[in-house]
Amino acid sequence: MKMTPTLLTLLFFTCGAFAADVAAGKAIYDKSCKRCHGGDGAANAAIAKMMKVEMRHLGSKEVQAKTDAALKKESVEGVGKMKGIAIADADATNLVAFLRTLKQ
């Protein structure tokens, strides 16, 4: 069967809609989270001190025990002293997929 451009486009969108993209999630993390949470999820000690709060490793058992929905909500809406970031739902899904790779 010859792949028509229409069919290819359709395939592209169907896959994109269901598979979370870790690489895209990492790009968001590096841009919006890394300065406070570090490249590997270990908190930036200076930030924790400045914000006067204990920051857990994002790959810790406690953080990883949260559901995808909870991690998404905390990232987008913020949690405790942390402000959230305004990103699209699909981007938040990719971000959470990346957070799962930080698991210790």
Residues in touch with ligand HEC (CB under 6 A): 32-33, 35-37, 47, 51, 53, 55-56, 58, 63, 71, 74-75, 79-82, 85, 95
For residue 11, give the H/E element and its range: helix 5-18
Write b or e for each residue in 29-45: b if 16 or more Cβ atoms lie within 10 A of its Cβ, otherwise e.
beebbeeebbeebbbbe
Nearer of residues 15 and 90 to ligand HEC, judged by Cβ: 90
Comparing every residue's Cβ against ligand HEC, the nearest one is 80
Nearer of residues 15 and 77 to ligand HEC, judged by Cβ: 77
